[in-house]
Chains A and B, each alone.
Chain A
Amino acid sequence: MFKMLHSALAAAALLALTGGAQAADWKPEKPIKLIIPFGPGGATDIVSRILAAKVTETIGQPVVVENRAGGGGLIGLSAVREARPDGYTVLVTTIGFGANPALYRHKKIPYDPLKDFTLITRTAEIPTVLVVPPSLGINTLQEFIDRAKAKPGTLSLGSAGYGTVNHLAGELFKAETGIQTIHVPYRSGGLSTTAVVSGEISGLFATTPSALGHIKNKAMVPLAMGSAKKIDTLPDVEPTAKLIPGFDVPDWQGLIGPAALPKNIVDALNAQFGAALKDPEVVKRLSDLGAIPTPSTPEEFVAFVTSEVKKWNSVADRTGMKAEN
């Protein structure tokens, strides 16, 4: 009897001890599910798989990538929103995360990016570049704007669909310059790139990795970076921000979890993914893909998403963009 009590006490003490250890420094005890709200093979998917492989090495448990595609990322997002906030279900989200509230505000807003989720860290971003077909005969950003103003509604900007980086950058461009262009959505980034090469559309805010080869082969003319900074692989291309101050639309990615994720879990995941993003091998892999690692604190990520939501709401005010027309 005494022995039993003793062992029970010991067990309780052990429990308290491990519980205390957990509060200070969270260590996962089972595999972590990393949801990608898109199909396999896209830039977000590939970058996340590289990160997952690295974090698996350091965190002591496998980080398993699960693709939950559909509804422009909404299916994956709702899976995470409904998951338990225990750190075992997280998701990599992209630019649409902060833009959806603006895109869907005419009907039911699907979620609140700041209240329904816990933001853990930004992971990476892929710079964008405005490209046009050579047959268009336009070589500078100013010429593009002038042509659009001289002949309103004749120039078209492609995209990989509503709420993608190509669409959003185009909408911001319209809002800032006051020009009228036709939005031509395609099923994928690849098809919209092809449409520029064939001259089917007049322009595209493309992710740089998808455009670099075509620019080198003179199958596309780069007018300006869509993201704020110049990049090494396109040293002669100035950012759009030079003409339109503050213009910065990269294809960003970040790690999020369900609402009310405990602070120690957020910090542990932030530290693990942050370290992976600074690992020289990972940095090289990402830069080969044209992606730039952007580790951040949770607070910085919150501030960033807050500014994104504001930005896209303001664009929607000015251009009337929405996910349904």
Chain B
Amino acid sequence: MIVRVSTALYRAALLCYPMAFRTRFGRELLSGFEDELRGRVATSTSAALGLTLLRCGGAVGQGLAARAQTEFRSRVLAGWSQELRVVARNLMRSPGHSLVSLAILSTAVGTSTLLFAIVYATLLAPSPYPDAERLVVGWGSNVSNGQLRDVVSGANYVDMSDGSTSFVALGAIKGDGAVLEEEGRPVVVPALRVTPEFFEALDVPATLGRTIDTTETFSGSEPVIVLSHQLWIERFESSPDVVGTRIRVDLEFATVIGVMGAEFGTLFPVQAYLPLYRDVIAAQDRTSYNYWMIGRLAETATIERASGELDATMDVIAETDPRLRNWSVLLEPLDTIGKVPVRAPMLALSAAVGLLALVATFNLAGLELVRGTTRTPEWAVRRALGGGRGHLVRLMVSETALLAGVGCLLSFPVATGGLRLLRHHAPATIPVPGSAAQVTSFHASFGWATLLWMALTALAIIGLSRVPALVQARGARLDTSTRTTATARMGRVRDSFVLLQLAFASALLMGAALAGSTMKNILDIDVGLAPENVLTMYAGNVSGDAATRARYFTDILGAVQQVPGVRSVGVNDYVPLQSEDDFAGLLLHDRPPPPPGSGLREEWRRVSSDYFATAGVAVLDGRGFEPADYTGGRPVAVINRAFASKHYPGADPVGETLTIWNGGIGDATIVGVVADVRRRGILVAAPPVLYAPFHLGSRGNMAVFVATEGPPEALLDSVREAIWSVDSSQPIDRVLTLTQVVDAAVGLHRFTLAVLLALAGIAVPLASLGAFGVTAFALRARRRELGIRLALGATHQRLAARVLRDAVALGVAGITGGLGLAALAGSLARSLLVGVTPYAIVPAAAVSCIVLASVIIATLIPVRGLRRVEAAESLRVE
């Protein structure tokens, strides 16, 4: 009984196999099963039942798999390979059309892929730090003095980190340079000085060795260094044995204790990490602001609670030190700090790339419609011969897939070439608004997500561009009685495609025009410098007392002045426009006293006597510094115009006196007023600045400015040798011409302009090509109508004027739409515009002229062919 039932069941399960397989093996499988079953029945009924279930299940699974395989082979593979052959033949038949389509597609897909690679890596990719939502950055904030994202002092940091329970770890960091040695010469690499809590907060272990621990952060402890991944690769050739070696850092030997991973440096573009000595920073003056804080919130803590806790500590400090009364702490999620500054440019570029993709889509759709109309008879014949709609759709899909595949391959060089250009021209870092901090401007990654995006974009562009042609193919009949209406309808669709292309291209061009106006306005800004023929570099890492440091820079000034071709030479604490902060505590004499407890704090710079002349800073009132000011006697000071307007409005500040608390300088007399020099980027107005002679509390590292007779680059080697002739162990770094410094300050805007111009440069000719193709085609399709008009007495000129009028109307409609779109986008990205509104008349007029001219030219070429239309001939042709 059980054998009979089980056999019947197995026989039924075998039905799942394809017929051919059953015919060949059915009996054998069945008899094998019966043999097996009899063996099991002899053992037990349950064993027989188990075997039945197992074999029936196997037969169903295997049968269905075999069936699917056979179906796939016979239908899909064979069918599609045939379709693909037909499609490839079709595409080869009109090589010009196919090549143009592929060029348009690969440009659109390449640019969109590149942008996605950047947007994904910069804005969307998961943070390299675990539980990044709990990471915060802490700024010192003095809103009443306009300092929103400033630094905190070491002593205040120590108190805050000791008195807080909201953080798992709260570290302090300071951007700095580390002096390494290369071929016997000192070189400076960007570095971060950090407390161990910095690594603890970010919670990323070293990939080799370890990070800094608490025993290494007290003065006198063994010097150590942690290398970035990049430095490890470039300087140490990825040697795994680097950990434990001793290298020269800042003129002494330090032990390499670890190497960080490549991802770790995403937000901090530095090459090395050095310890901050906790006892040293704790002993610093409470107004010696130097550090940012990076913290990891405890699981139960919130930003608000942590802020409240830190502010409470600051309040306690302010009770004993009234100078800190207006200072609080601003905590922000670390994740947003890296993303906020790049969001607006990314948005603008995404919109531009999106517009280009749309122009490309409608362009291809227009081309396809033109080609589709010529292919209508082919569709009709295929349908008449029994080709179902499915067959036609499959042909279309094959064509789409083939074009998209080839388009993807061709877009690789576009994307990678674009990335190379970006790496070369885009600014490496972008300032965080309202702060001296800089973050990496963009990263790019070509991973699976990017490849998927590339494939989807290609399919979307090609797929969308085929929809109108598909709709057209639906109506394909051998019967020609409906062709005229269909052609007229398609004509309107084609016109609307041209209109959309012109609109998107105009919007893109308007974006470029607005970026151009912005650039012009920025270049017109007076930065307060005469940057031509001036070389700048940072020199020195001099330790020792102020007198030793001052002597070093005095000797440098003398040595460089002797170099033939040097006009003048000066030093300043920093190069302007690079967001450096340095404040002095001041007391102005004969002025209303500041509110009790809130000391006056302004930017200050220490400079040499020839600095103003060398950098081209104009002396507006009184005098600049003279050599006598550097030889002792009562200190003098020079202020900038912003300082004068803020503190001496309507009065002559020359001759006024003040006290400079920093460096024990004491009382000084103001001897002159100089022009404002932009400090924090080119768009931020210069703050009040006080200049003092550099020998009063000179820094160990200063910026040297060298004005030259000819091109400054030519003198670089001689200037460097002159500086090293004073002390060859001192480093020289960040060598730039002052022109490059100004250029770098406008880097982001220049870069946005260049990209928009490039995209508009592609989109406008593309849209014109669309207009040309459609006009040429429409004229050919209207040959009969034009012939009749000629026969009825119309002249060629009138016909040409009519065609041109239609094209101009289309152009005007497209431009109007495009300008509206640009105005909308511009008002969303106002932060990128300087001195120009999205509704500006001049750029709009220029864009209108360019687009309209290109439409007219694109129309005139085919219209010239109208002259050859003869009434009788065109009627005969029909």
| A and B are partners in one complex rather than unrelated chains | no
Residues of chain A touching chain B, judged by Cβ–Cβ distance below 8 Å, are none
Residues of chain B touching chain A, judged by Cβ–Cβ distance below 8 Å, are none
